[in-house]
Structure 1
Amino acid sequence: MAANHHSQFDLLRQRRFLPFFLTQSLGAFNDNVYRLAIIGLLGYLAVSPEDKTLYTNLAPAIFILPYFLFSATAGQIAEKLEKSKLIRITTTMEIVIMSFAAIGFLTQNMVVLLIALFATGMQSTLFGPVKYSILPSVLRPEELTGGNGLVEMGTSISILAGMLFGGLIFQVSGAHGPAVAAVAIVLLAITGNVVSRFIPRAEAGAPELKINWNPIPESLAIMRLTRKQEGVRNSVLGVSWFWFFGTVVTSNLPTYAELHLGAPRDDATIYILALALFSIGTGVGSLLCEKLSARTVEIGLVPMGAIGMTGFLLDLYFARSGLAPVTGLDAGGFLRQPGAWRIVMDLVGIGLFAGFFLVPLFALIQSRTPKGELSRVIAGVNIQNAFFIVLAAGVGIAAQRLLHWSIPQLFLALAIANALVAIWIFTIVPEFAMRFVSWLLVRTLYRLKLHGIEKHVPDEGAGLIVCNHVSYMDALILAASIPRPVRFVMYYKIFNIPVMSWIFRTARAIPIAGARENPEVMQRAFDEIDAALANGELVGIFPEGALTRDGEIAKFKSGVEKILERHPVPVIPMALRGMWSSMWSHRDSRLGRMRVPRRFRAHVEVAADAAIDPFLTTAESLQATVRELRGDTA
């Protein structure tokens, strides 16, 4: 099969993804047009500064309150109903809500607008679980990272564009501002509903589910669902921490722009520039996740994201820890000031690494949560996110009002807290750190090209992967190439190599020894293999039993037949090409392997072929298949 050259942007040409992408982007855009238009109306009505402060602080609380009240119910509804139908229902609700809000703009009635804002929050609460639970239904596992990256990019850009558009309505339209705002939000809602009708059918996760309308016990039950699996639980915590981090940064940008970047009080251009830099960085980081992860759910990017977020936020503190040396600047004037481009790079860098942090976490939640529970788990994520957003607002206010911290000091404390939280998460779930180390090793030493992985490795269910054995890095190479976690069976002496042993243990690899060498270790390995296959996992084995000494494929041992006798599952043949001349094979002496490899960043290919019926499989036939799959490229 030809090498995989698919790009995540190919999804934007496919009906299974594009209508959903446009619908969610239009929804995010309209929400922010509406919220910023309310603030614009306050200025148009010339309300007192005290009243304006009251409304601007009240609005976010009103919008987020439904997430606490209705997320549990929304998660159940999203689990029970066919997903495209539910999206059409939510976009129809948006038309009704925005029509009501239009009356508020035309009559300039803030009570009506705030009631509509609460209803908008309720509609967003209902849309939230289906927004992320639909992706595993329409995307393959290897597309999840790219699809999530596109969604996060679209959301970031839509929020920014909506804030710009909503903020400019009253500045540009003047006396016609209320009418323009009313027409804009209704037309956007109608457009979103029309686009949503092109979303293809996506079956319900649990159509038989009986809805519990009591939000309190159901919220507690949903939060328990998010904690069933350790990896999912801590990914949920990581997502919520992202929202805490982002809320502290973005909510303080207006005042930061005025006090520390030199913006006039009545000019938001520098604030908009700062927000745009952060949003663009997040969008770019989200898009890069697919390329950096080679289309797998690569949670190794999460530690890198956390490190980058901390590093750039620390640098932002040192770049401008005091008040702005010059005030009254517009965006162009700010960019001409000494040190301005350092601040620009810091804001982009924070957003960029925030994208690396967030996208793999969502992809992991989607890939490891049972489909019949995913919508409710996403609802649980939304409940916890809402709590962390409110907590972030409270922490920001307390730090400035009670502790009298400046905003740069608040950013410094946040950078330190981000590092501590990341260390804590990666300590209690070593898989994050393990994947980061293995990702760094593989991407530093090799350039991978994949053949047939998407087509032949099953999306779910048990399977036995067999491959030729060339170097000590083989298991890590395969793990970096296969979208699903794989339990590798490896010679116990390789399993116990210092440093690598920590990676293998954390990845739940299975050490094995020869029958004469250590029969107890061998028997324990076969029992673990059988249990893993019975649990629907992928198991990877190297039937040669040892690294090749001459670059050729050695005779496959009969252990593979013994595994299939105990638990017959589909057998996926795979082959490594190019590893013989790379680092850590037996081509070099031990002294030679300690030098920089002959082919630094060696080109390595991983090929997979169609699954083989376990009842027709023998060690000899598998050896012939893998040899043919590898070809002449050792």
Structure 2
Amino acid sequence: MSRSLLARRHFAPFFWTQALGAFNDNVFKNILLLLLTFVAVPRYGWDTGLLNNLAAGLFILPFLLFSAWGGTLADRLDKQRLVRRLKLLELVTMCLAAAAVWFEQFLLLLGLLFMMGTQSALFGPVKYSILPQHLPRTELVRGNAWVNLGTFVSILLGTLLAGVLTSLDAATARLTIGATLIGVALLGYATSLAVPAAPSSDPGPVGWRPLSGSVAVLRDSWRQPRIFRALVGISLFWFLGACYLTQLPAWVRDVVHGGESAVSWLLGAFALGVGGGALLCARLSAGRLELGLVPLGALLIAAGGLTFAEQPALAGEAMSLATLLATPGFWVMSLALALVGVGGGLYIVPLYTLVQVISAEHQRARMIAANNLLNALFMVLAAGFGILLLSVLGVSLNVFFAWLAGIALLIGLAALTINPRAVLRLAIFALTRVLYRLRFVGRGHIPAQGPALVVCNHVSFMDALVIGGASPRPLRFLMDRPIYESPGLNWFFRLAGAIPVDSERRDPGGVRRAMQEVSRALRDGQVVMLFPEGRLTIDGEVQYFRRGVDMILRRDAVPVVPAALAGLWGSWTSHCEGRAFTKLPRRFRPRVALVFGEALSPGQADRATLEARVRTLKQNAEQSLACKAVKGRQ
């Protein structure tokens, strides 16, 4: 499936366009730093620290100045045209950079670094806001995963290539550097020509207000707490990443006792870890926005970071990479840093996807611009944090990295506290995957946003877990109050957001209160799940639908999605051949199919129509399982 996404015209051209841009950024930036350090400083006697900090500031400053303007451009203009214009700007910049390298005009190179930062700041809002226009919601996580993989692999390859190019003899290096910068920019522009149209949903004039625009986009994001929390979460990742990458050379020098090749190796472990974590996120999400991966990713960052921080200094001095690779301690460091990267990939992809999904279409790019602004501010904070701990307080590098692990742990605990239901949902999905061989059809019929009602046949006590794990959105369930109040399980049902309902005979006001809670959930834009039969089937067939669904639709006219389960009849949690839980399981990981039908409008969705639809879907699900079983035997 991943290969098919990369081969798709609505994704592949943009993927290669952004990956080549990130690659060229890092080739240019690292070549400039190496030329300043090893050519300009010895020749002119300039201060190395001042130059490096100046270069870092010149690249970050455009993100503070122009990100908001870039977000407005991306919201107002066709993103396809904007991408092509920005790639032309990159080509012009790289042509000038090639000339500056050839004539060794180092001050001009610093100015061009600011220009390249400007291009990146303007491209950033397009990078993530264009994906929802070209990919369905079920593929957004996978698209973001590939974009993050492409970005971090490009960073790694660009950094490595810069070292190779600058190690050549002077004349060859100047020629090869210029050809590389221009060639990659040309290739990136060529791929941008294949990017499909992405017209604006809110076209209009774009004013030039860099500073006030930045304040405005931050204020707009602040007014949407869920988006702002996601933006802060993303920026915290870049804070941690900047701290790691900034202090990595010092760690290699003082703890590893290695050289530039050891820095590149550890950088590669981190970058490949992030890319691998992003793809793992796509795999675990199975087409859904799985926010439960956010705290898991942060806790993996903390675990990897703590392991990295605990490593003692390696014996010996000035060791080559070959020698280090024969040292167990260096492998532990590499794997720990890779684990930090894997956690980062799991952590950041759902947050980017969340911003894309919940941002209004007409201001999505501006929310990404606010993210880029916050990222830049947090990276500046990372520099200040490093100065405070290492220079002012004088802590060791081991203590510094332990601090980073502690911050990641706090982020993970905070994410767990803010959204515990997402973690529970992820655990349910993993559990059902272990217990059953699941086949899902039609999950895209559940509306991407807004209220909806899902109705399904009731086969076993595992139905709610299977449906809840399969749904692309969190579900609220109606369930019998006696089960809801079960000792030892009530905490679970409360955390899952279940809605208890009792019979009028046992509690005259129970149905009314349950309907009020369902109405509140629907009016809050949530999805509610209902088993209209009201009880488990006693013969494996769909039973008569009761009046609950009609009562709900009379209060709240929302779309209704019919669904059907097959494969759970005969399991130990069903009433087949005796009451549920009174017999031993007969099959290991049985095949289970869950089929969703097209949503019905409230006017179409009476209980007789829904019952007929569910019966038809159940037959489809059973046929799907039968075909799968036959193929499995062949």
The alignment's TM-score, normalised by the length of structure 2, stands at 0.90
Q: Kindly indicate whether residue 9 of structure 2 is the aligned counterpart of residue 9 of structure 1.
A: no
| 3-state SS of 1:555 partner | coil
Q: Residue type of the partner of 2:292?
A: G
8 Å contact 2:314–2:329 — kept in the other structure?
Answer: no
Q: Deviations over 1:153-172 (max 9, x none)?
A: 00011111111112211203
Map 1:14-25 → 2, pairs under 5 A = 14-25=8-19
Q: Distance in 2 between matches of 1:498 and 1:244?
A: 44
8 Å contact 2:298–2:409 — kept in the other structure?
Answer: yes
* Percent of aligned pairs sharing the same letter: 38
TM-superposed deviation, 1:473: 4.0
8 Å contact 1:300–1:439 — kept in the other structure?
Answer: no
Rate the CA distance shift 1:580–1:388 in 2: closer, same or farther, 3 A: farther
8 Å contact 1:491–1:546 — kept in the other structure?
Answer: no
Q: Kindly indicate whether residue 295 of structure 2 is the aligned counterpart of residue 307 of structure 1.
A: no
Aligned residue among 213, 222, 225 for 2:217: 222
Rate the CA distance shift 1:135–1:563 in 2: closer, same or farther, 3 A: same
Rate the CA distance shift 1:511–1:172 in 2: closer, same or farther, 3 A: farther
8 Å contact 1:462–1:534 — kept in the other structure?
Answer: yes
Aligned residue among 153, 156, 166 for 1:157: 153
Aligned residue among 239, 253, 266 for 2:234: 239
| 3-state SS of 2:603 partner | helix
TM-superposed deviation, 1:542: 1.3
Rate the CA distance shift 1:173–1:524 in 2: closer, same or farther, 3 A: farther
Question: How many residue pairs are counted as aligned between the two chains?
Answer: 619
8 Å contact 1:129–1:379 — kept in the other structure?
Answer: yes
Q: Distance in 1 between matches of 2:441 and 2:245?
A: 43
Q: Distance in 2 between matches of 1:598 and 1:363?
A: 41
Rate the CA distance shift 1:403–1:84 in 2: closer, same or farther, 3 A: same
Q: Kindly indicate whether residue 121 of structure 2 is the aligned counterpart of residue 131 of structure 1.
A: no
- What is the aligned partner in structure 2 of residue 4 from structure 1? none
Map 1:234-633 → 2, pairs under 5 A = 234-264=229-259, 268-318=260-310, 320-321=311-312, 323-454=313-444, 456-497=445-486, 501-502=490-491, 504-505=493-494, 508-530=497-519, 532-533=521-522, 537-582=526-571, 584-586=573-575, 599=587, 601-631=589-619, 632=622
Map 1:89-100 → 2, pairs under 5 A = 89-100=85-96
| 3-state SS of 2:287 partner | coil
Rate the CA distance shift 1:466–1:610 in 2: closer, same or farther, 3 A: same
- What is the aligned partner in structure 1 of residue 629 from structure 2? none
8 Å contact 2:426–2:469 — kept in the other structure?
Answer: no
8 Å contact 2:300–2:339 — kept in the other structure?
Answer: yes
- What is the aligned partner in structure 2 of residue 3 from structure 1? none
Q: Distance in 2 between matches of 1:537 and 1:70?
A: 37
Rate the CA distance shift 1:598–1:282 in 2: closer, same or farther, 3 A: farther
TM-superposed deviation, 1:258: 2.0
Rate the CA distance shift 1:561–1:38 in 2: closer, same or farther, 3 A: same
Q: Deviations over 1:492-551 (max 9, x none)?
A: 444445676555545554443334443534224334444554565433221112333454
Q: Distance in 1 between matches of 2:479 and 2:402?
A: 45
| 3-state SS of 2:549 partner | helix
Q: Distance in 2 between matches of 1:217 and 1:245?
A: 28
After superposing the two structures, state which structure 1 stretch, 393-402 or 583-592, moved more: 583-592
- What is the aligned partner in structure 2 of residue 175 from structure 1? 171
Rate the CA distance shift 1:229–1:43 in 2: closer, same or farther, 3 A: closer
TM-superposed deviation, 1:137: 1.0
| 3-state SS of 2:196 partner | coil
Rate the CA distance shift 1:471–1:239 in 2: closer, same or farther, 3 A: farther
Q: Kindly indicate whether residue 51 of structure 2 is the aligned counterpart of residue 55 of structure 1.
A: yes
| 3-state SS of 1:404 partner | coil
Rate the CA distance shift 1:310–1:614 in 2: closer, same or farther, 3 A: same
- What is the aligned partner in structure 1 of residue 632 from structure 2? none
8 Å contact 1:140–1:459 — kept in the other structure?
Answer: no
Q: Distance in 1 between matches of 2:397 and 2:46?
A: 22
Q: Deviations over 1:366-409 (max 9, x none)?
A: 11222122111111111111111111121112211122222222
Q: Residue type of the partner of 1:628?
A: T
After superposing the two structures, state which structure 1 stretch, 560-569 or 362-371, moved more: 560-569
- What is the aligned partner in structure 1 of residue 66 from structure 2? 70
Rate the CA distance shift 1:541–1:164 in 2: closer, same or farther, 3 A: same
Rate the CA distance shift 1:89–1:307 in 2: closer, same or farther, 3 A: same
- What is the aligned partner in structure 1 of residue 631 from structure 2? none
Rate the CA distance shift 1:446–1:218 in 2: closer, same or farther, 3 A: farther
8 Å contact 1:281–1:351 — kept in the other structure?
Answer: yes
Q: Residue type of the partner of 1:204?
A: S
- What is the aligned partner in structure 1 of residue 630 from structure 2? none
Q: Residue type of the partner of 1:559?
A: G
8 Å contact 1:303–1:436 — kept in the other structure?
Answer: no
Rate the CA distance shift 1:220–1:39 in 2: closer, same or farther, 3 A: closer
8 Å contact 1:551–1:580 — kept in the other structure?
Answer: yes
Q: Distance in 1 between matches of 2:65 and 2:496?
A: 39
| 3-state SS of 2:362 partner | coil
Q: Kindly indicate whether residue 99 of structure 2 is the aligned counterpart of residue 103 of structure 1.
A: yes
Q: Residue type of the partner of 1:619?
A: R
8 Å contact 1:285–1:354 — kept in the other structure?
Answer: yes
Q: Residue type of the partner of 1:279?
A: A
TM-superposed deviation, 1:629: 1.9
After superposing the two structures, state which structure 1 stretch, 147-156 or 178-187, moved more: 178-187
Q: Distance in 2 between matches of 1:151 and 1:385?
A: 17
Q: Distance in 2 between matches of 1:590 and 1:104?
A: 77
Rate the CA distance shift 1:313–1:499 in 2: closer, same or farther, 3 A: farther
- What is the aligned partner in structure 2 of residue 31 from structure 1? 25
Q: Distance in 2 between matches of 1:507 and 1:367?
A: 22
Q: Distance in 2 between matches of 1:514 and 1:284?
A: 51
Rate the CA distance shift 1:438–1:498 in 2: closer, same or farther, 3 A: farther
Aligned residue among 136, 140, 152 for 2:136: 140
Q: Residue type of the partner of 2:253?
A: E
Rate the CA distance shift 1:8–1:95 in 2: closer, same or farther, 3 A: same
| 3-state SS of 1:373 partner | helix
TM-superposed deviation, 1:431: 4.0
Q: Distance in 2 between matches of 1:429 and 1:325?
A: 45
TM-superposed deviation, 1:572: 1.9
Structure 1 unmatched ranges of 5 or more: 1-6
Q: Distance in 2 between matches of 1:385 and 1:446?
A: 42
TM-superposed deviation, 1:82: 1.2
Q: Distance in 2 between matches of 1:150 and 1:166?
A: 24
Q: Distance in 1 between matches of 2:466 and 2:182?
A: 52
The alignment's TM-score, normalised by the length of structure 1, stands at 0.90
Q: Distance in 2 between matches of 1:316 and 1:291?
A: 27
TM-superposed deviation, 1:460: 4.1
Q: Kindly indicate whether residue 115 of structure 2 is the aligned counterpart of residue 119 of structure 1.
A: yes
